[in-house]
Chains A and B, each alone.
Chain A
Amino acid sequence: MSAGARRRRAARLWTCVAASAIAAASGCAAHRGAPVTPVAAPTAACPGATERSAVEAICARDGAVRALQARFRSTVRAGDRTREAEGVLLLQGPGAVRVKLFTLAGLTVYDALWVGDARAVEGAVSLPLEAKSFRVRLRPGEPVPDPTVGVSLALWALWQQRCAEPPAQVADRPGRFELDPATAQAARREVAVGNGEVVEELVVRPAAPGAPEDAVAARYADPDCTLRFPLPRRIEMSAPAQGWRAEVKILAIDEDPELDPRLFVLPDAGHEDAAS
């Protein structure tokens, strides 16, 4: 591999990792089933949270958040490297997610849009600095064709309904529940509950034969109790198999904003850029 190719690959990895960090900002995430960090209680539960059942805590989000706009900052560490990025996450129910990542001075480096449901999801992912764009349509069980695409797809998956089927407690693991993975087109989906809040989430996507499991874990803290539906203000994500971790700080959340529908219109297939 040439030095240029290595640099491009490294840059793409960074973008992927940063975009993964954003996924957590939605109050979602993904990781592999392996050594997930111990379940941690939220730093401060919102009033009334500790009185509700675990299932209520898991399912409360379904239907409670119609649309969302979040501004965030992320610090991502991979090996001995660290980088900072800012971004904005837009969610529009029932199945549209858009995320944009910026350099600290404001230039857009990643723009992803996913729209779909349990039967099929379509996405347009653009990396302007690398002159790369992807147009993808996935059905259940199909592996993600490129890690750059998969990262933002995790966002979409985590935004999907948690309780289409009742959560099932994981045997011998108090506070951990398996979710129906179908709505998120996932192979496996799991959450952990503590103090009446979802404190950890796991989503595992189908992988190509022989490929490592496509999974990311996220831990949530500092729920914002001023919101109608409390969402975490701090998220730590880790992907041990991929060797990176990210810290995401939510700077601002706008609940149910009026978002322009054109933000969620997929560009025509073959068009270079995601809708903007």
Chain B
Amino acid sequence: MSDERLTIAALALVASVAGAARLAQPVANVAAAESPAGAGDSSPGAAGASGRATAARCGSPEACFARISAMQRDVRAIRADFRQVKRIALLRDPLVSTGTLEFRAPDHVRWEVVTPEPLVVEIDGGSLRAGEPGNVAKVEQEGALAVFRDLGEIFTATGNYAKRFAIQAGAGDASFVLVPRDPQIARVLSAVELTFDPANGVPRRVALREASGDRTEIDLDVREVERGAPGGRAG
């Protein structure tokens, strides 16, 4: 797999997870109806217990994840602020970036880095554009569409994600750990951790654990969610 594909994959991953904000209300309902334990208890012990509790409520982590995915279908657009922290093994200080993320159904992503230096990345169907604001141009995107489609399937329940990833319960309600089954992907990416707000299901964090020991954490602060009929265009 080329690094272009992984770039797109990772961005698409984040966008797709943001798309999972469409779960917000349903997940909140599920939590309210099915979770007697206090949502938001983030102590390590409680996190593990609540993760197991989540699995127990859904029958399995795969079932929980599928259930969340199935609830995403009416979200047409997501807008969020992000903070990305890249931690390099043995390096003291992490590399931090901040900016905004916009996802519009079915396949538009705009990833705008504000700090440390402005950069815009746009994925629109099969095309990838990037550059400084006002100077965005098409960049290499070999295999981008295929990867976007692959990863999009994982989060929109339109593909057999369980075939590609082992889904495990994460450290809390609505948290998951996706472990690649494909040895080619696993060679680079040990796991993807997804965390949603246990109170409302809004996505909060994507963490990419690399086999090298490096780790990238992307925290999302979702500002806006647009909903509409499935298949409709985001406004």
CB of B84, distance to nearest CB on chain A (Å): 6
Interface membership of B189, Cβ < 8 A: yes
Interface membership of B6, Cβ < 8 A: yes
Are A15 and B216 closer than 8 Å at their CB atoms? no
Are A276 and B139 closer than 8 Å at their CB atoms? no
Give a binary string over A248-264; 1 marks a CB under 8 Å from any B CB, 0 the rest: 01011010011110110
Are A83 and B140 closer than 8 Å at their CB atoms? yes
CB of B201, distance to nearest CB on chain A (Å): 23
Interface membership of A1, Cβ < 8 A: no
Give a binary string over A6-49; 1 marks a CB under 8 Å from any B CB, 0 the rest: 01101100110000000000000000000000000000000000
Give a binary string over A85-107; 1 marks a CB under 8 Å from any B CB, 0 the rest: 11010100000000011111111
Interface membership of B89, Cβ < 8 A: yes
Are B117 and A249 closer than 8 Å at their CB atoms? yes
Are A11 and B84 closer than 8 Å at their CB atoms? no
Are A82 and B2 closer than 8 Å at their CB atoms? no
Interface membership of A128, Cβ < 8 A: yes
Which B1-25 residues sit within 8 Å CB-CB of chain A?
1-4, 6-7, 10-11, 13-14
Give a binary string over B187-219; 1 marks a CB under 8 Å from any A CB, 0 the rest: 111000000000000000000101111101010
Are B214 and A108 closer than 8 Å at their CB atoms? yes
Given B90, B140, B208, B211, which contacts A14 in the complex, CB threshold below 8 Å?
B140
CB of B124, distance to nearest CB on chain A (Å): 16
Interface membership of A71, Cβ < 8 A: yes
CB of A221, distance to nearest CB on chain B (Å): 16
Which A126-156 residues sit within 8 Å CB-CB of chain B?
128-131
- Report, as a range, how many residues of chain A touch the other chain: 35 or more
Q: Which residues of A contact B143 (CB under 8 A)?
A: 7
Interface membership of A75, Cβ < 8 A: yes
Given B95, B130, B184, B216, which contacts A107 in the complex, CB threshold below 8 Å?
B216
Give a binary string over B72-115; 1 marks a CB under 8 Å from any A CB, 0 the rest: 00000000000010101111110100000000000000010100
What residue of chain B has the Cβ atom nearest to residue A260's Cβ?
B90
What residue of chain B has the Cβ atom nearest to residue A86's Cβ?
B95
- In the bound assembly, the distance between CA atoms of A104 and B187 in angstroms comes to 19
Task: Describe B's contact surface by its main secondary structure.
Answer: mixed
Are A84 and B139 closer than 8 Å at their CB atoms? yes
- In the bound assembly, the distance between CA atoms of A10 and B2 in angstroms comes to 9
Interface membership of A180, Cβ < 8 A: no
Are B214 and A105 closer than 8 Å at their CB atoms? no
Given B2, B7, B91, B137, which contacts A260 in the complex, CB threshold below 8 Å?
B91
What residue of chain B has the Cβ atom nearest to residue A75's Cβ?
B131
CB of B11, distance to nearest CB on chain A (Å): 5
Given B11, B92, B184, which contacts A104 in the complex, CB threshold below 8 Å?
B11
- In the bound assembly, the distance between CA atoms of A177 and B89 in angstroms comes to 40
Which of A86, A102, A263, A273: most chain B Cβ within 10 A?
Answer: A102
What residue of chain A has the Cβ atom nearest to residue B113's Cβ?
A104
Known: A75-B131, A88-B91, A128-B188. A81 touches B13 (CB 8 A): no
Interface membership of A111, Cβ < 8 A: yes
Interface membership of B36, Cβ < 8 A: no
What residue of chain A has the Cβ atom nearest to residue B14's Cβ?
A105
Interface membership of B153, Cβ < 8 A: no
Give a binary string over B123-143; 1 marks a CB under 8 Å from any A CB, 0 the rest: 000000011000001111011
Known: A84-B119, A104-B121. A276 touches B214 (CB 8 A): yes
Are A257 and B10 closer than 8 Å at their CB atoms? no
Which A48-98 residues sit within 8 Å CB-CB of chain B?
69, 71, 73, 75, 81-86, 88, 90
Interface membership of A187, Cβ < 8 A: no
CB of B144, distance to nearest CB on chain A (Å): 12
Are A7 and B142 closer than 8 Å at their CB atoms? yes
Are B142 and A263 closer than 8 Å at their CB atoms? no
Are A11 and B2 closer than 8 Å at their CB atoms? yes
Q: Which residues of B contact A207 (CB under 8 A)?
A: none
CB of A81, distance to nearest CB on chain B (Å): 5
Are A105 and B11 closer than 8 Å at their CB atoms? yes
Known: A11-B142, A104-B121, A106-B208. A129 touches B91 (CB 8 A): no
Q: Which residues of B contact A84 (CB under 8 A)?
A: 119, 121, 130-131, 139
- In the bound assembly, the distance between CA atoms of A93 and B130 in angstroms comes to 36
A-B contact pairs, 5 of them (CB 8 A): A14-B140, A83-B139, A104-B119, A106-B208, A131-B184
Given A7-B142, A105-B218, A257-B92, 16 new contacts (CB under 8 A) = A7-B2, A10-B2, A15-B3, A82-B138, A88-B95, A103-B7, A104-B113, A105-B208, A107-B10, A107-B210, A108-B212, A110-B3, A131-B184, A259-B91, A276-B90, A276-B213
Give 4 closest A-B pairs by Cβ, nearest first: A105-B10, A106-B216, A11-B2, A103-B7
